[in-house]
Chains A and B, each alone.
Chain A
Amino acid sequence: MAESFFNEMYDPNGLRAPYRRLEGWYQDMPNEFRALKQAEAEDLFRRYGITFAVYGEGGDPDRLIPFDMFPRVFAADEWRRLERGIKQRARALNAFLSDVYDRGEIIRAGRIPADLVYRNEAFEIAVAGFRPPLGVFSHIVGIDLVRTGPDQFYVLEDNCRTPSGVSYMLENREVMMRMFPHLFQANRVAPVDNYARLLKRTLASVAPAKCDRDPNIVILTPGHFNSAYYEHSFLADLMGVELVEGQDLFVDGDFCWMRTTQGPRKVDVIYRRIDDAFLDPLCFRPDSSLGVPGLMNVYRSGGVTICSAPGAGVADDKAIYTYVPEMVRFYLGEAPILENVPTWQCARADELKYVQEHLSELVVKEVHGSGGYGMLVGPRADKATIEAFAAKLAENPSNYIAQPTLALSTCPTFVEDGIAPRHVDLRPYCLVGRDVELVPGGLTRVALTEGSLVVNSSQGGGVKDTWVIAEE
């Protein structure tokens, strides 16, 4: 294959600076020691209970996501630019949400087609005209980034609803520090462990005006059968807040209450990890037993804050994604720091034609899909797969978008015989409340199969600790 990929550790000029102090570490590591450490890591993850169930794949629901011990490292100046770009994007996405549920200036100005927003399933009529506390809709914005060169970063997608995976960011660091304490003496790695404190502060900052004391924050989970349940309980633990299910809450009058052994306790902020459709059977799906009947009335009359705000999903739709740079220019009056991946909307006849003629070069995704399911990676697909996909595409073109296959950067990764470059991406978690904050790090996902560009944990991906080297 004639492709060339940016290797984050070794470029044509040799060892890159942020990885300087890791070279000796892995080269001096005896094989038996490495196997021992890998087993130790697995044991730690199992002890912490961090497992991942893959939707629709069956098998072991308590399967571990493979952890690769080789850290992924950013220099301080690289991170500074990323941080500015991520915060800028998170601010623009929130400005967009508060606009489309209000006057829709960006649509009146002709910058985004009305139907793309208002006909979108994720646009919630029930909250039109409602302004959540501080005007914030998406309090935790997960932005998926890939890198193709020293200074080339692209946003693959935005996650404005309930992005998961932050527990891996925290646990990966914890495990690395326990196993290789000397690495953290040799490298000045910026800490990420204040994430929970910042998250709690963010949630507290959006407490409703009716709350006149220390806000009572809860995490609302669909329950232990959910693949991210571990993360829900982990975050509740770290923040020192209650983890609740819908049946633990009830609405009475203008407020939402939590059942406790000491009697009902008023709830002010709900960090929900369930979808809009299930939040309230009196407003959305009537058959939902995961939510709290009457919750949307309490929310809309200012008795409780729901994070992320119902309706936030209209900003992270793959069809809206194309317009995020436009949002940055429109609302912030700034030039976008992070680029979008060029995207073809198959809903448009001319763009569909191009996609159909270049299927073998493109990545084609479902507009509402996630988790790497139902997508075509053209250059890695055989003829039969491409033909089958072409038929699906022709049947419902508006369900798909296409992007060029990006030359994703690689990071050294432990493999059977030593280390080898494997493709990586990055999901940082930006917090938006009274302030916009970002801990220096994120979740690095790695495609463990040689040559693979799909990093999703449901498709054979693993995770790595992500380092930002503090200024020396």
Chain B
Amino acid sequence: MILNVLHKTRYEFATPVGGIIQSLRLIPARCEGQTVIDWRVEVAGAVMGEVFRDGAGDYIQTASLRTRTSNIEVIVNGTIETRDCAGVLRGHRERVPPRAYMRNTPRTAPNRAIRELAEQALAGMEAASALEQAHALASAVHGALPYLPGATHAHTTAAEAMNEGAGVCQDHTHVLIACAHLADLPARYVSGYLNASEDGTPHEASHAWAEIFVDGLGWVGFDASNESCPNEHYIRLGSGLDAQDAAPIRGLVLGGTEESLDVTVVIEAQQQ
């Protein structure tokens, strides 16, 4: 499938700020499931640093703007060819050992509710394969947290989302990572895009899911929000320990804070 992406992130400042610095993870890396045809990342007026690849295989780039400004816009515009690999991340070049993804952050730390969820999901599955266990955990998370935009916010932890009893893709992913760790399975947060226009689900095009490491298969994606594995509708941008660590944009405003943020993502499948 060929997908066109137009992703705009616009920051507006109430009073002009001294500048901005951002670390961008906005370029999809090549793997069997995706090959970039054309991809541009622009931040008007900013100095763009050299693109380098980190140990997790993500493309990273710095954008810095050191002049007074009252708004800034990050524009991603690209075309990518995707294919269904049944969720398995194949042909992705990376250097981080999977066991490094066993640690929790405050966002993925389990509480009692999460421990119980994982225990119930895996009850009687002691002999099951890691892949079956991962599937069971993903379905359990899907069942435990109905999709409800607004129930949580950008800094909600897995434990808080469980207490809330609802959440969005970020919360599903955090809870699933916590559950996987409890089952001694390395797990990480993946940020990317989802072409959701076809199945009519109400999710945003900016999306997140978890990857769980399964011996013999490698990293396998699990989208607990949709109770599915990533297919040709998914574009993978990068990974990390949690939403903050894997964020497509991590930035800092210099000499000012007040901002309004407007994000639009349009994804279209190209007609063959």
Residues of chain A at the chain B interface (Cβ within 8 Å): 101-102, 104, 107, 114-115, 118-119, 121, 123, 125-130, 250-254, 281-283, 286, 293-294, 296-298, 300-301
Contacts and interface: CB of A to CB of B under 8 A. Distances in A.
27 contacts: A104-B97, A114-B97, A114-B99, A118-B102, A119-B102, A125-B55, A125-B96, A125-B101, A128-B96, A129-B55, A129-B96, A130-B55, A251-B64, A253-B47, A253-B49, A253-B62, A254-B49, A282-B250, A282-B251, A283-B250, A294-B21, A297-B49, A297-B61, A300-B52, A301-B49, A301-B50, A301-B52
B125 interface: no
A128 B95 contact: yes
A185 to B, nearest CB: 57
Nearest to B61: A297
Contacts of A101: 55
Nearest to A119: B102
Interface string B1-43: 0000000000000000000011100000000000000000000
Contact of B54 (A107, A123, A129, A286): A129
B244 A286 contact: yes
Interface of B: 21-23, 47-50, 52, 54-56, 60-62, 64, 66, 94-97, 99-103, 241, 244, 250-252
Given A252-B66, A293-B21, A294-B21, A300 B96 contact: no
B25 to A, nearest CB: 11
A300 B95 contact: no
A285 to B, nearest CB: 10
Contacts of B49: 253-254, 297-298, 301
A293 B20 CA distance: 10
Given A125-B55, A297-B23, A118 B252 contact: no
Contact of B64 (A115, A294, A300): A294
A287 to B, nearest CB: 11
Given A128-B55, A128-B56, A294-B23, A119 B62 contact: no
B100 A118 contact: yes
A123 B52 contact: no
Nearest to A129: B95
A440 B54 CA distance: 40
Contacts of B101: 125
Given A115-B102, A129-B95, A281 B52 contact: no
Nearest to A284: B245
B252 A281 contact: yes
Contacts of B241: 125
Contacts of B96: 125, 128-129
Main SS of the interface on chain B?
Answer: mixed
Contacts of B251: 282
Contacts of A130: 54-55
A104 B98 CA distance: 12
Contacts of B23: 282-283, 294, 296-297
Most A CB contacts (10 A, CB to CB) among B50, B62, B100, B244 go to B62
B212 to A, nearest CB: 16
Given A129-B55, A282-B23, A300 B100 contact: no
A114 B186 CA distance: 13
Nearest to A283: B23
A104 B241 CA distance: 21
Contacts of A300: 52, 54, 60
A152 B241 CA distance: 45
Nearest to A102: B95
Contacts of B60: 297, 300
When A and B form their complex, which 4 residue pairs have the shortest distance between CB atoms, in order from nearest? A129-B95, A128-B55, A129-B55, A118-B99
Most B CB contacts (10 A, CB to CB) among A118, A130, A283, A300 go to A118
A123 B97 CA distance: 11
A104 B99 CA distance: 12
Contacts of B56: 125, 128
B21 A282 contact: yes
A298 B68 CA distance: 23
A281 B251 CA distance: 9
Contact of B252 (A102, A127, A252, A282): A282
A314 to B, nearest CB: 11
A126 B103 contact: no
Contacts of A102: 95
Most B CB contacts (10 A, CB to CB) among A101, A107, A125, A127 go to A125
Nearest to A255: B49
Contacts of B47: 252-253
A93 B244 CA distance: 32
Given A128-B56, A253-B49, A119 B100 contact: yes
